[in-house]
Chains A and B, each alone.
Chain A
Amino acid sequence: MSYVEIDEPGKRVLLMGNEAIARGALEAGVDFCSGYPGNPASEVLEALARAAKKFNFYVEWSVNEIVALETAGAASFAGLRALTAMKNLGADVCADFLMTVNLSGTRGGFVLVTGDDPSAHSTTSELDTRNYARFADIPLLEPATTQEAKDMTTWAFDLSQELGVICMVRTVTRLSHSRGVVTLGPIKREKRSAEFSSGDMWTSGSSTIECMFHSVLHEKLKRAQEKFEESKFNWYVGKEDANLIIITSGTGWSYSLEAVKLLGLGNDVGILKLGTTWPLPEKLVANHLKHAGEVLFVEETDPFLEQNVKILAAELAAEGVGPIKFYGKKSNHIRGEFGAGTGELNVDIVIRALTEIKKVTYPLREKEYSEKAQELLSSYVPARSMGFCAGCPHRASFWAIKKAAIWDGREATVTGDIGCYSLGMLPTGFSVSKTLHCMGAGIGTANGFGNLKEFGLDKPVIAIAGDSTFYHACMPALVNARWNGSNILFIVLDNNTTAMTGHQPHPGTGINAMGDPSPKILIEDICKAVGAEVRVCDPFDLDEAVQNLYEMLQNEGVKVMIFRHECPLAFPKEKKAKVYVDQDKCLGEECGCVRFCTRVFECPGNIWDYEKSKAKIDEVICNGCGLCAKLCPAQAIIVEEAA
């Protein structure tokens, strides 16, 4: 049983940041949870889904983030406690509702959890969602430790309930996906009933009413600010009236603390750690600006605190606060590999900033050692690119698309989208797709490319999307293509799961977040209803797949090909087939093959036997799918199905 669910208040357990957030919601008595899978936030809802039946509350994966926020919003209007979790880019998707539900206000405690991804480890933008809190005029909390992730989430519900406004808890990858020790609190289960009486009205208003509600929202923020001044989530450590202070939030806290310790500056420097970062607890911050001559901002990713504190400092100048030297992103002291304001933080970055400010040196390792390490790294450590897993149907799909496009011969434009198949831009996907933005942008931009004939761009257009992506974002663009006469071939890669984010279900899988059966909404039915030419094919039947794609490329209008084959990680076989190479038959580097499996197809299960100059199968990585055996020009790869 997961630690998230155990009813032992006071127990110390190891929790992932996301699990701690889920636990915090449980301890707040959450009733209704929604979200869409997205790195680094996916596990919040997964942990809640696992606990839902035991504790009698509701969890759903929604089709996308705005629907998720809206459904949870309704629960809040009805007086229930609601939580919606999403990745940073999800905030973009639900912004429309966020920017109106802030005005309409809410009833039951309503918490929005956003997971940012500094350095974009698993996403296409490291955008900083704290800006949304300021934009939407809503309270913002930033946990710095796994314990805070739990405690802040619990408190956020009370705060939201008291003020009648949605509250935001913002986490980052290094908190969401790290594990730390958490002391559990009691799990609260209140019996709440949902209500919507005839007198209820939930609106953001318009014209005068909107302005009025806008003013009400500002009042709520002021009240939040008063509470923030006393919050236990803000603290100051180090030298009492330090001249150099660090103002930090989130993961910046532990990095700053460790950097200060390593540099021996514990008695010299003060650290003001803020957990409530919008609105700023201005009195608290002002107290420390009064004694500071130098301020270093340590935060991920945008200079959010930096700019807001500078504004405060400017306002306080008239009262004699300052002048203060500010260090952070603007001054280029806190910088990643590619510059300030990009990339994630770590202890080394803070150490470097402090040594530059203090004008001291601190070699993390001996210079000689670092140089030797660099040299050995460049000689003996090849890069390791990402690639599709062994047995992944996307590899087959992209090979089919590549072939069909070459057969067609008109240099088709191929647009890509978000999912495992985003890797279609890399050699693992034969560099087939050429664009990557956000959910649904593949078919969205294809709409445009497919309508530029009168401007001279008359190439075939292919858009690619995954199954989960299809439900999330592609349907409007599909309708648009048909309505506006765009000539496109839309290929949906249906592996029956939301794979990249951890194999969550979606409307086509027949299962919901709580593991219960649900109606299967078939992609082909929707596409046929739109009036597209629809075909369904297994990409592993490569010849058929190529032939069908080629034919469709010769037709006009909106065409949809659904490449359907299950993800082998989501649906592992009981016993996998044994695959091996008959090296006597293998042509290897000879004309007729020239290492087709390793050099071109690049499945990680196909490796090269350097001693014998023949192909080999890595039995640990090989998934037993047998696709390479179909493609081997010498038919040298043997597949023995499991008994």
Chain B
Amino acid sequence: MSQVVKGPRDLQENVLAKGLCAACGACTNLCPYIDMVKGKAVFIESCGLSEGKCYDFCPRSYIDVPSLDKSIFGSYRKDLAIGSNTSIMKARAKDKEIRSVAQYGGAVSALMIYALETGEIDAAVLAKSSNRISAKPTIAKNKKEVLECAGSKYIVCPTVEEVSEAIRQGIGKIGVVGTPCQVTAVRKMHASDFEIGADKVNLLIGLFCTWAVSPDAYNYVKDLVGPANVIKLDVPPPPAKIFVIQTDAKKIEVSLDEVRKFILPSCNVCFDMTNEFADISVGTVEGQEDWNTVIVRTNKGEKLLQNAIGAGIIETKPLEKERLDHLCEASLTRKRRVLTQTEAEKMAYLTIREEDKLKIIS
């Protein structure tokens, strides 16, 4: 299932030293030798091993797309733009309480709460922000705790650290909400020969993602808002090109370029906008703030969504063709860019089928 396994030295040379760390948290809660510092994994001490989980779980050490497709979906993807999928639609939470705290349609929170309440999972690993600017990973076990985690986070949060913690705590069924790199890391944990009990993660809801910013952005935002409290951060759809900070005092708008200065270098080599390895992937519907775009990918995802619809938790609408085309085009543009414009050295981690590569580029 996994490639030739390497270890911490390779992680340092091939990922960390190249500035490609995604700060996903997959490697930083496995042992005392690696810490997460300001959005980067840092080695404290050498463990001396030539093979290790840190390298094997990292989403930037290697991603073997065909191999992961096979192990998760049973076959290679047919859709080269947005990856394997069984259904695509618009969806949102029916519960207005959920929608009131959610960034957009609240579908992610609703599905997670439903999964908890039906016993599909025992706990959910989520990103929680008390100041609405930066976030810490947390383990949620009920509706209240899930809702405390609602809302988009733009500063990177090492969610997978808490996945390792949840497994160590012996939680039997774990759900995770993550960005594409985070979900990929968990899938690599599933596939790895290193057994840490990752099979306990039985539900992965992935978020669409174009970039995340480093924790340095915190001070930038704090300086803008002063003593006021932040209520919500948002990136309105193109062609707005602004970043919106809603405080309890006023609404601040800054050029998106100012915020882009803090984007993690790791995001620039990312191939995956729509979270292609999740059970269910969820994103925005441009211009319709009350709805989410939902891509269902696995049978498990299908079952959960259908049950949630049947139970009156989620309501859906078809996704208009123009919107789907637009989404696919955006995703392909990204793939094209990283395959043709990013230095080959930085893209060496990614393995895709040659025929797929040619199709994407043309």
Contacts and interface: CB of A to CB of B under 8 A. Distances in A.
- A–B in direct contact per CB < 8 Å: yes
A591 B53 CA distance: 7
Interface centre among A407, A550, A594 (most CB of B within 10 A): A594
A591 B52 contact: yes
B37 A591 contact: no
A147 B30 CA distance: 64
Nearest to B51: A591
B37 A409 contact: yes
Interface residues of B, number: 18
Nearest to B38: A407
Given A591-B51, A591-B52, A407 B35 contact: yes
Interface of B is mostly: loop
Nearest to A589: B49
Interface string A455-492: 00000000000000000000000000000000000000
A403 interface: yes
A633 interface: yes
B354 interface: no
A593 B31 contact: yes
B350 interface: no
Contact of A592 (B37, B48, B51, B53): B53
B42 A409 contact: yes
Contact of A591 (B31, B35, B44): B31
B194 interface: yes
Given A409-B37, A631-B32, A594 B47 contact: yes
A631 B48 CA distance: 19
A551 to B, nearest CB: 12
Nearest to B164: A592
Contact of B42 (A402, A406, A593, A594): A406
B322 interface: no
A136 to B, nearest CB: 50
Contacts of B35: 403, 406-407
B47 A406 contact: no
Contacts of B45: 600
Interface string A195-232: 00000000000000000000000000000000000000
Contacts of A550: 37
A594 B49 contact: yes
A596 interface: yes
Nearest to B168: A635
Interface in A594-643: 594, 596, 600, 631, 633
Interface string B36-77: 010000111101110111100000000000000000000000
- Among A591, A593, A594, A631, the one with the most B-chain Cβ atoms within 10 Å of its Cβ is A591
B148 to A, nearest CB: 23
A591 B32 contact: no
A633 B31 contact: yes
A403 B44 contact: yes
Interface residues of A, number: 14
Contacts of B32: 593, 596, 600, 631, 633
A592 B43 CA distance: 13
Contacts, number: 41
A480 B203 CA distance: 60
A633 B54 CA distance: 15
A631 B44 CA distance: 14
A594 B48 contact: yes
A406 B16 CA distance: 14
Interface string A393-409: 00000000011001101
Contacts of B44: 402-403, 406
Nearest to A635: B168
A600 B47 CA distance: 9
Interface string A354-393: 0000000000000000000000000000000000000000
A503 B52 CA distance: 45
Interface in A553-599: 591-594, 596
Contact of B37 (A402, A407, A593): A407
A403, A550, A592, A593: most-surrounded residue (chain B CB, <10 A):
A592
B19 to A, nearest CB: 13
A245 B53 CA distance: 73
B297 to A, nearest CB: 31
Contacts of B31: 591-594, 596, 633
B154 to A, nearest CB: 23
Nearest to A592: B31
Contacts of A633: 30-32
Contacts of A596: 31-33
Contacts of B47: 591, 594
Contacts of A594: 31, 33, 47-49
Nearest to A593: B31
A406 B43 CA distance: 8
A633 B43 CA distance: 16
A38 B53 CA distance: 50
Contacts of B30: 591-592, 633
A592 B44 CA distance: 14
Nearest to B30: A592
A594 B52 CA distance: 11
Nearest to A601: B32
A406 B45 CA distance: 9
Interface string B118-131: 00000000000000
Contacts of A631: 32
A550 B194 CA distance: 33
Contacts of A406: 35, 42-44
A596 to B, nearest CB: 5
A589 to B, nearest CB: 9
Nearest to B40: A409
B42 A591 contact: no
A596 B30 CA distance: 13
A631 B49 CA distance: 20
A591 B194 contact: yes
A397 to B, nearest CB: 16
B16 to A, nearest CB: 11
A66 to B, nearest CB: 42
A270 to B, nearest CB: 62
Contacts of B42: 406-407, 409
B350 to A, nearest CB: 25
B32 to A, nearest CB: 5
A439 B45 CA distance: 31
Contacts of B37: 407, 409, 550
Contacts of B54: 591
Nearest to B194: A591
A587 to B, nearest CB: 9
Nearest to A594: B47
A593 to B, nearest CB: 6
Interface in B1-53: 30-33, 35, 37, 42-45, 47-49, 51-53
A641 to B, nearest CB: 24
A593 B32 CA distance: 7
B57 to A, nearest CB: 11
Contacts of B49: 591, 594
Interface centre among B42, B51, B54 (most CB of A within 10 A): B42
Interface of A: 402-403, 406-407, 409, 550, 591-594, 596, 600, 631, 633
Given A402-B44, A633-B31, 5 more contacts: A406-B42, A407-B42, A409-B37, A594-B33, A594-B47
Question: Lowest 10 A-B CB distances belong to which pairs?
Answer: A594-B47, A407-B37, A591-B52, A592-B31, A596-B32, A591-B53, A406-B44, A633-B32, A633-B31, A592-B30
10 contacts: A406-B35, A406-B43, A407-B35, A409-B37, A591-B30, A591-B31, A592-B31, A592-B53, A596-B33, A633-B32
Interface of B: 30-33, 35, 37, 42-45, 47-49, 51-54, 194
